[in-house]
Amino acid sequence: MDFGFCLSPSSHVKMDSVDLTTFNRLKETNPDINTCIACGSCTATCTAGHFTEMSFRRILLMLQRGKEDEAKKMIQRCMLCGKCTLVCPRGINIRKILLDITR
Contact residues for another protein, defined by CB under 8 A:
1, 3-8, 10-16, 27, 31-32, 34-35, 37-38, 57-58, 61-62, 64-65, 90
For residues 51 and 73, what is the distance between their CA atoms, to the nearest angstrom? 15
Minimum distance from residue 61 beta carbon to another protein (Å) = 5
CB 56 within 8 A of CB 84: yes
Sign of dihedral through CA atoms 18, 30, 58, 72? negative
Residue 84 touches which member of another protein, ligand SF4, none, C-beta under 5-8 Å by kind: ligand SF4
Q: How far is the CB of 2 from ligand SF4 (least distance, A)?
A: 45
CB 35 within 8 A of CB 92: yes
Closest approach of ligand SF4 to the CB of residue 67, in Å = 17
Query: Binding ligand SF4 by CB under 6 A: which of 39, 52, 99, 102?
Result: 39
Q: How far apart are CA 80 and CA 99, in angstroms?
A: 8
57 lies in the binding site for ligand SF4 (CB under 6 A): yes
Contact (CB, 8 A) for 26 and 33? yes
